[in-house]
Structure 1
């Protein structure tokens, strides 16, 4: 709107010229007052025409654990100021298993008080969801949650079906919508592949909002996340959706099991074979957020993070990393060595003190220390040099923010902690 800035500047100059001109008589004084009044009113009208600043992107989170733990209470308390709404996994249907409930702690959700969206996941491999069963299961669970006092504000259907099955999915949503209580919002997750379908608009007319998923869309083997592609998808989706939509962003990793080609995520799989870890890079996700703020797609309302991290969830970002990314804080990775002394024995532990994961250092040396014995553990082996013991990494690995990992031990008659050298 550069033209508007030029007009405002011209109006300001005009007011200064008119209002500062020398007066000759009362007629001039009256004319000047009228001119100044008109210019001021014009300035106010133009200011009213200026577009309002975009509201900040809303931030929500998925809680995807089927069995809740005591740690949920702690993490929910730590994120009260981070997430406005909690999207909670409630029910799943898989062709080989049937209906399986999740068991969130409803009393914790009640005590938390934030709006809750009840999420029902229907496996994408279903030829066609059973409409009667879906409506019955949804009604039963929703009645239970509302009767218990949970602040349920909406229902979300998570069904990653093929584009060819969108008409049948539309029929399901059209049948579900009238059965929901008045005032309860209905939303769905959506795939970027649906952008090629002429049936997308008809589907979106059945819901109040949708959630575009831009992570691990086709196959995690191709990577979990590509920020430039995610931006393009969001812009294209905003042009197709007449209603508000959210963007689901990854805050997690998966393991690819080589032998069976399975994907292991939050739940361990009973499958042998080596595992190759893939993690959504926090800096790439942070870069996308910056891009979204600078070039916001039409109808984009906010971000939903997948998933709420709990202590011990080794494939989710630590909470410190997630909070840093969502609040636009700089990411840093720092590895230090913590020394616990008991007489001449020193136990050495690597500590990740930054707010994002860090690669384990290649070498940690105890230069200038007089050590009679030492040994390495876990991902390290011990070597001896003229200056003292050296702990050498066996293979690349990473340490999450706030995580600790044993390095080894050393028995030394003289030990200078300042002589510990950590090499990247």
Structure 2
């Protein structure tokens, strides 16, 4: 009996520790949308650097617009084959289409699958992205039902879904026609109210989890847009593609800290049927309205977010190149003002975005317009030909 008591005294703490370890919530699956219509060499680096943190790629593959008809995204199949992650082809049906022809849509999707397979790409699923109004959900369900019947049984079918559909009695039937759904909780209402509202997103997520009986994902924003004035009073939204239009641009950007906190909360207490998060969109090096990949990865990992701004000065034969650097994991707005100690300067100037004021022993760079410096990135702001630059006399104003 004494041996049994001693054995239990040793075993009990081990069981408690084991139980504590098992109670920790596993990380949610995290995926990426690739939404560029024209692939560039930058995709190679973005795919490589995103592999460790995002399990699956949802790739914009095919679009249908009023008047314009069908168009394919110009992907790079070689890069996707080399990447090797599961692929889901996204077919975008514009919300302004007057009607949906199930036979036409089905034929286009089947042709896409065949073409991708001939290029050596194995699809893990098909996603239909259609911002249907509530009144058109019955027609949309019929299209999805027909598409589900002609797709191979092994080919999962998903849809991008809108929170507005929560008000429709058609929603359960619609969800029963597909294998999973992707609830879009960003940029779904008046863009003037912002891209994302964290408390509203939580409410929509909880409501969706109570209705669906199948896995669902959340589509979360990792980007920004600009609002431009329009003659009819409604703003024009500029995103990846610049719009040739005069007028002041109002920049909106999803807050990485808010999204990090939401992702951690969902991981620790996931609603029923929530299968993971999908981030929109894979950022490229020249994507000025997306978070940097460094920031996106930090948010996905739940890291503490911090910008670490400073100046980097390099010298060659008395000519100093002056750059703003961000050694943190959080993208940062350009600082309003930077001052740098300098002496015996024969000449100096600022580069685009900043103006220079020079005194006897000080260079002051003042911001002329807004911009962001990527996490782990740098940007040249000026040059100076001086006998000495005193980096110890640096001051940065936010």
Q: TM-score, normalised by structure 2?
A: 0.90
| Structure 2 match to 1:323 | 297
Match of 2:351 among 374, 377, 388: 377
| Structure 2 match to 1:29 | none
Contact 2:224–2:254 under 8 Å retained in 1: yes
Stretches of structure 1 lacking an aligned partner (at least 5 in a row): 1-14, 22-35
How many residues were matched structurally?
386
| Structure 1 match to 2:139 | 168
Match of 1:153 among 124, 129, 144: 124
CA gap of 1:196–1:421, structure 2 versus 1, over 3 A, is: same
Match of 1:178 among 149, 155, 161: 149
| Structure 2 match to 1:298 | 272
CA gap of 1:191–1:387, structure 2 versus 1, over 3 A, is: same
CA gap of 1:366–1:106, structure 2 versus 1, over 3 A, is: closer
Contact 1:258–1:276 under 8 Å retained in 2: no
Give the C-alpha shift of residue 371 in structure 1.
2.6
1:172-251 correspondence runs (5 A): 172-251=143-222
Q: Any idea what the Cα deviations from partners look like across 1:161-218, whole Å, max 9, x if unmatched? A: 1111111111111111111012100000100111111110000000000000001011
CA distance in 2, matches of 1:53, 1:376: 52
Q: Any idea what the Cα deviations from partners look like across 1:49-80, whole Å, max 9, x if unmatched? A: xx976443111111111111222222222222
Answer yes or no: is 1:253 the counterpart of 2:224: yes
Match of 1:278 among 249, 252, 272: 252
CA distance in 2, matches of 1:390, 1:52: 55
Instruction: Select between 200-209 and 60-69 the one with higher mean Cα deviation.
Output: 60-69
CA distance in 2, matches of 1:127, 1:407: 50
Q: Any idea what the Cα deviations from partners look like across 1:267-295, whole Å, max 9, x if unmatched? A: 22233333222111111110111221233
Instruction: Select between 326-335 and 141-150 the one with higher mean Cα deviation.
Output: 141-150
Contact 2:313–2:320 under 8 Å retained in 1: yes
CA gap of 1:270–1:423, structure 2 versus 1, over 3 A, is: closer
Contact 1:114–1:151 under 8 Å retained in 2: no
Answer yes or no: is 1:103 the counterpart of 2:74: yes
CA gap of 1:58–1:148, structure 2 versus 1, over 3 A, is: same
Answer yes or no: is 1:366 the counterpart of 2:340: yes
SS at match of 1:66: coil
Match of 1:347 among 310, 321, 332: 321
| Structure 2 match to 1:87 | 58
Match of 1:334 among 308, 319, 326: 308
Q: Any idea what the Cα deviations from partners look like across 1:242-269, whole Å, max 9, x if unmatched? A: 0000000111111112246211111222
CA gap of 1:20–1:330, structure 2 versus 1, over 3 A, is: closer
Larger RCO: 1 or 2 (CA < 8 Å, sep 6+): 2
CA distance in 2, matches of 1:289, 1:131: 36
CA distance in 2, matches of 1:84, 1:234: 22
Over the aligned positions, Cα root-mean-square deviation in angstroms equals: 2.5
* Structure with larger Rg: 1
Give the C-alpha shift of residue 398 in structure 1.
2.7
Contact 1:370–1:415 under 8 Å retained in 2: no
CA distance in 1, matches of 2:154, 2:276: 21
CA gap of 1:52–1:294, structure 2 versus 1, over 3 A, is: closer
Contact 1:177–1:206 under 8 Å retained in 2: yes
CA distance in 1, matches of 2:85, 2:349: 51
Q: TM-score, normalised by structure 1?
A: 0.85
Q: Any idea what the Cα deviations from partners look like across 1:10-58, whole Å, max 9, x if unmatched? A: xxxxx99x9669xxxxxxxxxxxxxx9xxx9xxx9xx99xx97644311
Give the C-alpha shift of residue 396 in structure 1.
4.4
Stretches of structure 2 lacking an aligned partner (at least 5 in a row): none
| Structure 1 match to 2:330 | 356
